[in-house]
A and B are shown apart, each in its own frame.
Chain A
Amino acid sequence: MSAGSVQAAAGTTPDVTGVTGVARAPWRSPLAVVGVTIIAGWLVLAAVAPWVAPSDPLAQDAAILQAPSGAHWFGTDELGRDVLSRVLHGARISLPLAFVLVAASTLIGSVVGAVAGFFGRWVDSVAMRLADLVFAFPGIILALAIAAALGPQLRNAVIAVVIVSWPGYARLVRSLVLAARTSQYVVSSRLLGASGLRTLFVDVRPNIAGPVLVMSALDIGNAVLLLSGLSFLGLGAQPPTPEWGAMVAAGSQNFDRWWVGLFPGLAILTVVLAFNFVGDTLRDVLDPRTARALRE
């Protein structure tokens, strides 16, 4: 029953059944399984890093720039720190931040988009012009200017990425709310005397959750890339923090010692790829356009 019902749910306007479809269908896709496994693996590694890492990520107690060997599987960096330990500890920075970034952008964007779409008029114009403004900049140029202006710090880089990312959610949520606003259930709710905010939160919210979830899942990868890019440019995490982007930057200083930059970059790639595997599958399940194409 499920394959048909999932697609039927995805084919109509996304609703609560669409959300249950998300929970079930992705397990049929090998890509999503691989993605979830990789993410779970990284989460476990992040949790146990202090115990499994061969040495302290900040300890400079080995010879510098040693090639990978039995003692140092990923070699050592320009200060004689164990690259493997730093990559493992890097997961404790990049993964939580990835979730924080996307949660913050989703929250801000959804609230702005919902309010703009539901109340319309000048609120709508102001919010959407603001979103247009952010969209007028290619992402990293604005993030770069913000991060540089606030000062090179991991916290400021996070703020910069959130400022660059929220408008995407605002636009999506606004269009969904606009579509829902004239629907029967919203009109009925208002006729029963529910306030605008109550209708928005109780009746509209569950009905737009699916697409927003997909967008968040697809966006996590981009957020990780943008944040590590800022760190790579020296505008995010500062030394000696074992952040993956900053570690690749150290690798570019010693480009002939490939292991310094290769492994942290691989870590970023696997995390982003895993999130994109999951997000892509979720979209296939939920996006009516792709779902229709698949049904053919």
Chain B
Amino acid sequence: MCNSVIQVEVIIPTQTKYLDLIGSIGEHIAKELDDYSGDREALAYHLNLVLTEATVNAIKHANFGNPKDTVRVSIHIHENELNIKVYDHGQGFDLESVPLPDFEHPQEGGMGIFFIRTLMDSVTYTRQGDCNVLEIIKYLS
């Protein structure tokens, strides 16, 4: 696989049974990258995890009033930048207000955004038209 341009677009219903599919796509992409010199197994796990967490987040914030609501996931690799965008149609949330986990007194929730922030290089959540977009960037060099 040539790293110069890879573009994958997936649209799924807002159901958690599709998390494996989305995560697996990230894992496969990591394993096929030609020029990645880091720990490929770790990158594969991290992309699986980040895509899983981002998709769960979108499902959680989805518009449950609409049974036909969907989550769109776009994965784009251009040269050494891997860009993930996850689109939801819900009310959105304030990414900046999500606190770090309390490591001394860990709670059941709140680790998903921590994983995305820790394992990737940039995370933003913005409103674009009728969607919210969680945009995640990982530099592969």
Do A and B associate with each other?
A: no
